[in-house]
Chain A
Amino acid sequence: MIIPPRKRLGPLLLIAPAAILLCVFLVLPYLNIVVMSFRMPGQGTPYGPGFTLGNYGKFFSDFFYVQQVINTLWIGFLTTFLCLILGYPVAWQLARGASTFRALGYALVLSPLLVGIVIRSYGWTILLGNNGIINRTLTGWGLIDGPLPLMYNALGIIIALVHVFLPFMILPIMSAIQGIDPSLEAAARSLGASKVTSFRRITLPLSLPGIQAGCILVFVLSLSAYVTPSLIGGLRVKTMAVTVVDALIDTFQWPFGSALALMLSVTGAIFVVIFGRLTVMKWKA
């Protein structure tokens, strides 16, 4: 069938505003970063004349940076995993629990997003610091002798990231569970499955699309998080995002910073694709 030109134009016009916005403010800057990553380092200027592969060479030759990518990925994995473990029961409760508490629960889930990211991260430093509330209380009760190392390490960063990103895990899973017909669980029960088995064989696999979306969101957000790791990790633990900003702003190495940023994006993307492949759902199509 031949579609008249006007009909073809309609959908294009509808997506045009978003497409233009993305193109000008995302795709073009991104391309600029790609180009920048191949430029020569400058002397007193952000970059010098000519092009080189040296920025990438520097990344791969210095294990420090590779190690940082691995650390960042680990923080991403653990944050995602903890969000999933903590978030799934909440999502299930919000989707299937009594309606009385649903509005309240919903508000509580969203509450971390209502506080500015800087304030929230400072809040965690108050709680987690060596002189923070947790350590002082535990010392005061005589449960510990010295402060526990809760801050300036990966643990602190993960705690704070899990707090911020939990809603991004809960909301997609909740909506996936809400989309599952409760009579499917009833059918499983009628066929002889216990509540646990019917959850494992029916509800859990059917909520996989939500789990997938939530995990990808949280993982990507964790990799690119900047404010929380820089405030809670301090100078000791640096994630890639922090190092990239250091390179761009503190040491003024735009080409190298761009190469670092791209390496982070590429490794992140590779893991997202692998994850997508592993959780492919044949029954959906």
Chain B
Amino acid sequence: MTEVSIEKLTKDYGQGPAVNSISVKIAEGEFISLLGPSGCGKTTTLKMIAGFEDATQGAIRFDGRDVVHVPVEKRDIGMVFQNYALFPHMTVEKNLAFGLEMRKTPKDEIRTRIAKVLDMVQLTGYSERYPRQLSGGQQQRVALARALVIEPKILLLDEPLANLDAKLREEMRVFIRDLQRRVGITTVYVTHDQAEAMTMSDRVVVMFGGRIAQIGTPSDIYERPANLEVAEFVGQVNIIRGKVGNRVVSTAFGDVPVSGEFADGAELMLALRPEAVELLPISSGATGAPAKVLSSYYSGSLVDYRLELAGGAVVNVQTFPRTRFADGEQVLVHAPADRFWPLGTVA
């Protein structure tokens, strides 16, 4: 097991840094995701960890040893590519044996390790197939097995689920996560899919424009986003504005207490997740702000509403479909004060 430490890592292709002095410490056996929109530098970072790109500046340490000048083939990494990159002219067995042959592993050990890893990815009996004879999900698992069979120091995955259909993608999320836990390998996972990053990772690194916007557990990222960009990138969010006065922000939902760091009179942005809002019928007489249903979208387990508050502000609300409200209906909205998260003052 290996601890990976990235220190002030920078990559500049000559048109300004693609990765700008980022630092992360990845613990032994940790599953960490690099999450961000395309062009945020997450893939470049992964390529630098793998050794496919040279770092312009900074250090990458595997267990304290700087590997920046170590070529790819000497870094002892396992990598899974977006398009799987299975060797089309080799059978599954030959694909899996490749990395072991490079390590001069004895023949009979190669055989036993391949059998073991095929069992692990539930592909026993497929060793004589060529990649083109496998489905997308099976190819994905072979790619995973090929990266793991060499027992690398770290596992790197570059959007490995992007080419799979939605159902298979969810299955593979669980599969990869379980496998990673069982093997206990330090893993870096690149994705632009926030649901993937949230469900699989111990910690998520959110990147924008070559910089790290936030590092934290999935719940940190979702419930306590560092800024507006992170809040909007990870899931849906309502941005509620209000003036600070006496350590309280007054909003359409009522007064929300905030910590003392915000001066009186400042206009604050608060994040409010759609599922944190409760919808109640007017007749309930409960406390809440009056709102009108603009539209609703039913998706089976959940209903998404668009509501207009009295002041004209629009909020998105997600509820269970136990009680349904019709378009145009007047309702009461309520959100507990602790579900608001301050994102900072309005610039």
Name B67-87 residues within 8 Å CB distance of A. Answer: 71-74, 76-79, 81-83, 85-87
Which of A181, A194, A201 is the one whose CB lies under 8 Å from B98?
Answer: A201
Q: Are A189 and B72 in contact (CB under 8 A)?
A: yes
B150: Cβ under 8 A from any A Cβ: yes
Q: Are B99 and A181 in contact (CB under 8 A)?
A: no
In the complex, chain A residues whose CB is within 8 Å of the CB of B89: 205-206, 281, 283
B175: Cβ under 8 A from any A Cβ: no
How far is B72's CA from A52's CA once the two chains are assembled, in angstroms? 70
B88: Cβ under 8 A from any A Cβ: yes
B262: Cβ under 8 A from any A Cβ: no
Q: Are A187 and B87 in contact (CB under 8 A)?
A: yes
Q: Specify which of B50, B77, B85 lies most central, judged by the most chain A CB atoms within 10 Å of its CB.
A: B85
Q: Are B102 and A190 in contact (CB under 8 A)?
A: no
Q: Are B81 and A188 in contact (CB under 8 A)?
A: no
Mark interface residues in A197-219 (1 if CB within 8 Å of B CB, else 0).
Answer: 10001100110000000000000
Contact flag A192-B102 (CB < 8 Å), given A181-B85, A183-B81, A184-B85 = yes
In the complex, chain A residues whose CB is within 8 Å of the CB of B79: 186-187, 190
How far is B86's CA from A205's CA once the two chains are assembled, in angstroms? 14
In the complex, chain A residues whose CB is within 8 Å of the CB of B88: 184, 206, 283
Q: What total of chain A residues lie within 8 Å of the partner, measured CB to CB?
A: 19
Q: Are A186 and B81 in contact (CB under 8 A)?
A: yes
Mark interface residues in B143-154 (1 if CB within 8 Å of A CB, else 0).
Answer: 000110010000
Q: Are B73 and A192 in contact (CB under 8 A)?
A: yes
Q: Are B87 and A184 in contact (CB under 8 A)?
A: yes
B204 to chain A, nearest CB (A): 24
Which of A192, A202, A281 is the one whose CB lies under 8 Å from B87?
Answer: A202
Q: Specify which of A191, A192, A193, A197 lies most central, judged by the most chain B CB atoms within 10 Å of its CB.
A: A191
B52: Cβ under 8 A from any A Cβ: yes
Q: Are B85 and A194 in contact (CB under 8 A)?
A: no
In the complex, chain B residues whose CB is within 8 Å of the CB of A192: 73-74, 76, 99, 102-103, 150
A137 to chain B, nearest CB (A): 45
How far is B82's CA from A224's CA once the two chains are assembled, in angstroms? 48
Contact flag A193-B87 (CB < 8 Å), given A186-B52, A186-B81 = no
Contact flag A181-B102 (CB < 8 Å), given A190-B78, A192-B73 = no
In the complex, chain B residues whose CB is within 8 Å of the CB of A183: 81-83, 85
In the complex, chain A residues whose CB is within 8 Å of the CB of B76: 192
Q: Are A190 and B50 in contact (CB under 8 A)?
A: yes
B122 to chain A, nearest CB (A): 22
Mark interface residues in A114-143 (1 if CB within 8 Å of B CB, else 0).
Answer: 000000000000000000000000000000
B228: Cβ under 8 A from any A Cβ: no
In the complex, chain A residues whose CB is within 8 Å of the CB of B98: 188, 191, 193, 201
B130: Cβ under 8 A from any A Cβ: yes
Contact flag A191-B146 (CB < 8 Å), given A183-B85, A283-B130 = yes
In the complex, chain A residues whose CB is within 8 Å of the CB of B51: 189
Which of B71, B74, B85, B130 is the one whose CB lies under 8 Å from A187?
Answer: B85
How far is B77's CA from A283's CA once the two chains are assembled, in angstroms? 28
In the complex, chain B residues whose CB is within 8 Å of the CB of A189: 51-52, 71-73
Name A168-193 residues within 8 Å CB distance of B. Answer: 181, 183-184, 186-193
Contact flag A191-B99 (CB < 8 Å), given A205-B89, A283-B90, A283-B130 = yes
How far is B81's CA from A188's CA once the two chains are assembled, in angstroms? 11
How far is B73's CA from A281's CA once the two chains are assembled, in angstroms? 28
Interface residues of B (CB under 8 A from A): 50-52, 71-74, 76-79, 81-83, 85-90, 98-99, 102-103, 130, 132, 146-147, 150, 156
Q: Which 6 A-B pairs have the closest CB atoms?
A: A192-B102, A191-B99, A187-B85, A190-B79, A183-B85, A283-B89
Interface residues of A (CB under 8 A from B): 181, 183-184, 186-194, 197, 201-202, 205-206, 281, 283
Given contacts A189-B72, A192-B102, 14 further A-B contacts (CB under 8 A): A181-B85, A186-B52, A187-B79, A188-B87, A190-B156, A191-B99, A191-B102, A191-B146, A191-B150, A192-B74, A194-B73, A201-B98, A205-B89, A206-B89
Would you list 27 pairs from A and B whose C-beta atoms are within 8 A, ordered by A residue?
A181-B83, A181-B85, A183-B82, A183-B83, A184-B87, A186-B72, A186-B85, A187-B81, A187-B85, A187-B86, A187-B146, A189-B72, A189-B73, A190-B73, A190-B79, A191-B73, A192-B73, A192-B76, A192-B99, A193-B73, A194-B73, A201-B98, A202-B87, A206-B88, A206-B89, A281-B89, A283-B90
